[in-house]
Amino acid sequence: MKLEANLVKQGMLSKKDLEKALTISRQTYRSLPLVLVENGFVEEEPLLRLLADQHGLNFVALGELVIDDAAIRSVSAKFASHYLIMPVRLQAPVLTIALSDPLDMSPVEDIQTNLGYQVERVLACRSDILDAIRRSYGIGADTVEKILQESSHEEAEPVAESHDLAKMADDASVVSLVNQLLQEAIDERATDIHFEAGRDSVDVRRRIDGVLYPAHVASNIRVLYPAIISRIKLMARLNIVERRIPQDGRSRVTVGGKNYDLRISVVPALHGENVVIRILPTTMLFNLEELGLSPAHRAALGELINQPHGLIFVTGPTGSGKSTTLYACLRQLNQPGRKIITIEDPVEYELKGITQTQINPKIGLTFATALRSMLRHDPDIMMVGEVRDRETAEIAIQTAMTGHLVLSTLHTNDAASGAVRLIDMGIDPYLITSTVRAFAAQRLVKTICTKCKESYEIDGATRYRGTGCKACKQTGYSGRIAVCEFLPLKPEIQELILDRASSTVLREKAMALGMVSLAQDGQEKAARGITTLEEVIRVTSI
């Protein structure tokens, strides 16, 4: 039975959709199975299983298959990527390949003619084949092979001359390779990409959900590393010749129809320059509900930011999501009747309707000097990216005392340590109690992947975990949310601050007054199946 009739008989496709697909196939000269999948007429896996039965082939799940190293070595990355096939097993003279279109015989003929193997075909999903190519050959391996063939570079001889780098960094293939590395990182939800040069190798790692994971890149990418770094520098308008001092820059790229800001930092290292690229979506909807705050915490924060004046501090270590929380507050406060000014280092996201200033210590534009000047711009609300020193703290407090709402961050481990940190900076306790409304502390915990989430019993309690799947790259986690604690400065807390009490005493009193700690908030989220107890322990040390 023909494929068309079989699809209709199996109820996978209506006659009307079949006619549409056949028309597209004739007009574009593309095979019917490809048209059906690309245009969303049918799901790929059931279609391939049907085709496998029809053509007497096997359907395989490549992600669950152990791929033969000899098979990978027998076919170049360029060949595999060009035909979108994955060599699976080599038992000479037979080479087994996975492909997604059984009607395309071009790769079979090419392998038989040029490589001399007999070919056995199995069917696999297109996305699984792409994943397998990246895993087996490395990201951009086909592009690396193409560049090396065209430029005739020896594998052990990296490009070194500055004028060669300038020329090569603009080469379409090098541009394509850098774009592939960026595209792959963005597709994997990475927030940072790390390029690290070794003596004979290059490591590329990506930070996903707060954890660095190695990216499998082509082994011979070391040859092109100087050209890759030069291309990244050109994107950020940095000096490609200067390799002795750190450089920082920015760039903007479009991937999948979305714009991203890239913050690029280059530092000299022992075996070359290391680069970190921070990936920031240019448009991001900051929402208090989506931060993961509990209803009680959300209500408390909402009440605090609607006060006409005062200081609110969000505390936590680097990477704990403090800036994201402040941006979410600003988005809620951003109304036509209010003037909002921010002073940041650096400006991470652009917020429409808000005046954002990036500090520049090299020219004397510090948090303190910027804050002093911005007061002349008649703001209602101000955000100071971070209070780092006494001068900035004093001006922020004076700003709050003169009728402004000020939001800022501190680097402390918990909410109770916020007041102690300000006193250590030299701020009088009475100024803290008269201006600061609350200290909030937070951490980010990874959330359980919803695709592979399961419950289990332990010690009579129900727990949840992710078993690991393709969607979460076998980690069991996907995404992050905040766990928080809020310490409002109630009269009892203010008295202790005036007495210069320790953070331990402040914390005990706050807990007695009903404060939900970071650990307790995390445990509650673990009990609800949002995260795991192991993850809460990792970030809160309970």
Per-residue model confidence as pLDDT tens digits over 481-517: 999 999 999 999 999 999 999 999 999 999 999 999 9
What percent of the chain is predicted at pLDDT more than 70? 94
Q: pLDDT category, 167, cuts 50, 70, 90? A: low
Q: Which residue has the tokens 């404060």?
A: 515
287-344 residue pLDDT tens: 777 788 888 899 999 999 999 999 999 999 988 989 889 999 998 899 999 999 999 9
Average pLDDT over residues 367-389: 90
Instruction: Reply yes or no on whether the pLDDT at 435 is more than 60.
Output: yes
Q: Which residue has the higher pLDDT, 357 or 9?
A: 357
Token digits of residue 168? 């090569």
Q: Residue 85 is which amino acid?
A: I
Residues 57, 121: contact at Cβ < 8 Å? Answer: yes
Average pLDDT over residues 369-390: 91
Average pLDDT over residues 145-171: 53
Residues 107, 83: contact at Cβ < 8 Å? Answer: yes
Give the DSSP letter of residue 360. Answer: B
> In 3D, which of 95, 138, 141 has the Cα closest to residue 114?
95
Instruction: Reply yes or no on whether the pLDDT at 156 is more than 90.
Output: no
What pLDDT score does 542 carry? 52
Q: pLDDT category, 438, cuts 50, 70, 90? A: very high
What is the rounded average pLDDT for all residues in the chain? 87
123-146 burial code (b ≥16 CB/10 A, e <16): bbbbebbebbbbebbbbbbbbbbb
85-112 residue pLDDT tens: 999 999 989 999 999 888 888 999 999 9
| Distance separating alpha carbons of residues 172 and 232, to the nearest angstrom | 14
3-state helix, strand, coil in the chain (%, to 5): 45, 25, 30
222-245 residue pLDDT tens: 888 988 999 999 999 999 888 899
3-state DSSP call for residue 139? Answer: strand
Instruction: Reply yes or no on whether the pLDDT at 450 is more than 90.
Output: yes
SS3 string, 427-483, reads CCHHHHHHHEEEEEEEEEEEEECCCCEEEEEECCEEEEEECCCCCCCCCCEEEEEEE
What pLDDT score does 163 carry? 38
Token digits of residue 107? 């790769």
Peptide bond into 346 cis (omega under 30): yes
Q: Residue 93 is which amino acid?
A: P
| Distance separating alpha carbons of residues 247 and 232, to the nearest angstrom | 12
272-293 residue pLDDT tens: 999 999 998 876 657 777 788 8
What pLDDT score does 349 carry? 81
